[in-house]
Structure 1
């Protein structure tokens, strides 16, 4: 008998004992843990990716039991009760700043950004790049980097995906942006590209949770979170990354929040079960309209909420029209009609043209004094094409606290920019009022 009850499944010639890694999606690279008493796998996600792949995914039985609230002493054992083995946690590695910043350029080559422009126009697409720090990768032509930045502003890792814009008469939704599945693996990780091991994922968009005034919406894919944030800006939109992406550890940042889960059509049952498991962390609700209304054809395509939203008229969801209310039908026409402009926050990453401030104390003090010196509006304020401030006082308090706590950190510069945008809008409104 093995010294340990749970071991990695031994390799057996002629028998499939290596599986697709749920983290890096490489096939025949993932070894699952087995229970030496029952001979069964612990769970399809509990295992270790091949060390040669540089993926770094190693999810142990102990972690699985702890995250799913399964005490060791309540498990039914045929021979003996396993004892947890004390292991020293490996340090988590983060992406170097220079690699993160290097990706925040060349958006005119980014296939996903081109799709966003075709949907929403330049201004809204630029706002989305700024808010989610959407990057561009040279790993594949026109590939996108979806950075996972945690609530502390640390860049945990980045998921690299190459999209293709598809316009097919066979598609339920017409033109769409789909992963290029001919790539192997179809999803690549920045940690693998940089040959850095031992990373731990967080939610895509987790850095936005610094805003505590909104409920949270969680979807599977990063693309869906980005698109849905335009149609339903009253939520903070996050992406779990996969159907298996709702662990107790990852969801710990949601403690005390109101959360709505938007599973893909084929993920309703799994995420409903997860909502019950995680109910001690936050108030979870599961959006069930797709489950109730989806047709058989839509189920076969495994559509998600974004697939339905992009069929709708954006103006029905926003009070202010986008920069291009009737965008050209093709990306080529867009780039002929106007030059692509990078959003303001990304320009700050060019140290030669815009030196990065090391301290924002003067800017923060000026903003605080300004907002204290005026009577704040009680009506909602439109900050930009996809940002509406319903409560100015709360917005200012939250953002001031954020920039004070993260003074000089480039990841949190958008919060300072928003306060400056609000100051500019309020100043203009006051001058117009005085002229009347």
Structure 2
């Protein structure tokens, strides 16, 4: 199956068709980020009456293949790797470099002809027929001298722009829902700690006013992207955006010049991607001992922390998010070196999400040093068909239940409990001591009575069998007491 940069949106969302104007137009999205692409690229669902289909540039995902030498051979490209030869159609080789080349991923992953070929699943780029970069020097079988693209300097959100979101939580629908409208509202102290941990913010202007912002901050405190989520009063998502897009839209409406950082940021993001780290990644440096829980969306990570406890306790899970289903990859997860990671994929109608993440977890465990990746099947085992179709995530299940039932007891409560247990143990020791002294006394009493009974039997010339009927009731009771006590 071919991997393209742009794919048709598979959600139920529709837009007005640019031709028939009916709200039946399915737009294209970026396959990596899930964001809608600019322009009227998409397909009208009214195939019989409209049949509008506007294709975007069909960019192909290509992965890097290291090579000792690369040669042109008629209509093919010969790659020599560790002494082995591999031939590829020239149409599927999109760029050549001094140390390798970029080849269409679908041919690398689907063909048995390239068994043993080494290639990188995490080092990829997108190409179309207009930006191929193949340079051949000399005649047939000559070594290719490729020209390497210069990597762009990383561009992050300016600190001042990021810090400007950290305010006006009284206008933040998501935060106010957590405090007031969810089935089991959370304490203000817990919500304040969540805001402080993850640097949750508020969009105060524009068409996303009142939305919550989820910043993606790496270990070095660089802000890669700020996702914007709009929620209704039941805390269900009604809109998804990026803060740079919200800012861009606002400046365009006011006919203001774009700041230099925004232009550079958008240019960089389009080539290298926006969400290049985990949501909550900055917490890994602070909480070095905690096992990690990895989910798709930041909202689910927030709920996980609120329900299962803050990471101050090293036994608690540290909840992080990858952005979306396809966001689970080495580029984001390389920061999880040395961690135990538990994955919680969302539900899907056919179980595709669970299967995809289970497959990727095995690969990541081999790629990320000293790590352990495992996938929870909790949702898969307990979900109804309706919940699968709706794509429920862990947060959808948790929010209907009282978070107090999930929290570990506080240190104070534990201290009181341990103190009580200690007291009970001490009392038990004293009782055992008392019982031990009493048992010794009873043993001596039994021995004395048995001796007297034997002597009496001998004097009466009665054969000694110690039948039960000769025991007095007192002796039987004593025997029974010792039996149950021991």
**TM-score of the superposed pair, with normalisation by structure 1:** 0.55
Distance 1:253 1:128, change over 3 A: same
Shift of the alpha carbon at 1:37?
Answer: 4.0
Which whole-Å CA distance do the structure 1 matches of 2:338 and 2:213 have between them?
30
Q: 1 or 2 for the larger relative contact order (CA 8 Å, sep ≥6)? A: 1
Deviations 1:356-399 (A, max 9, x none): xxxxxxxxxxxxxxxxxxxxxxxx579xxxxxxxxxxxxxxxxx
The match for 2:236 is 178
Q: What's the counterpart of residue 448 of structure 2?
A: none
Contact 1:220 1:242 in 2 (8 A): yes
Is 1:271 equivalent to 2:357 in the alignment? yes
Counterpart CA distance in 2 for 1:283 and 1:148 is 23
Instruction: Tell me the equivalent position of 1:126.
Output: 192
Cα 1:269/1:107, change in 2 over 3 Å: same
Q: CA deviation at 1:86?
A: 2.5
Report how far residue 249 of structure 1 moved: 1.5
Provide the residue aligned with 2:284 in structure 1. Answer: 209
Report the equivalent of 2:201.
135
Aligned to 1:318: 407
- Seen in structure 2, the aligned counterparts of structure 1 residues 7 and 109 have a Cα distance that, compared at 3 Å, is closer
Deviation at 1:191, TM superposition (A): 6.3
TM-aligned CA distance change 1:263 to 1:84, over 3 Å: farther
Are 1:148 and 1:206, in contact at CA under 8 Å, matched by a contact in 2? Answer: yes
Please report how far the alpha carbon of residue 112 of structure 1 lies from its aligned counterpart in structure 2 after TM superposition.
0.8
The structure that has the greater radius of gyration is 2
Tell me if structure 1 keeps the 8 A contact 2:4–2:58.
no
Which position in structure 2 is the counterpart of 1:32?
Answer: 59
- Counterpart of 2:323 in 1: which secondary structure? coil
More strand by share: 2
Cα distance per residue 1:311-362 (max 9 Å; x no partner): 22211122569xxxxxxxxxxxxxxxxxxxxxxxxxxxxxxxxxxxxxxxxx
Cα pair distance change 1:125/1:66, threshold 3 Å: same
Instruction: Normalising by structure 2, report the TM-score.
Output: 0.50
Alignment RMSD (CA, Å): 3.5
Tell me the equivalent position of 1:93.
155
Which of 246, 249, 260 aligns to 2:328? It is 246
- CA, structure 1 residues 99+214, in 2 after alignment: closer, same or farther (shift >3 Å)? same
* Contact 1:160 1:190 (8 Å CA) reproduced: no
**Residue number in structure 2 paired with 1:188:** 242
Q: 2:344 and 2:382 mapped to 1: Cα distance?
A: 14
- In structure 1, stretches of 5+ residues that fail to align are 1-5, 44-63, 71-79, 167-176, 322-379, 383-436
Residue in 2 aligned with 1:113?
175
Gaps of 5+ in 2: 7-18, 20-24, 42-55, 63-90, 95-102, 107-117, 125-140, 248-261, 310-315, 414-486
Contact conserved, 2:277 with 2:331, CA < 8 A, in 1?
no
Question: In the alignment, which of 258, 277, 302 is matched to residue 226 of structure 1?
Answer: 302
Check the 8 A contact 1:67/1:249 in 2, yes or no.
Answer: no
How many corresponding residue pairs? 271
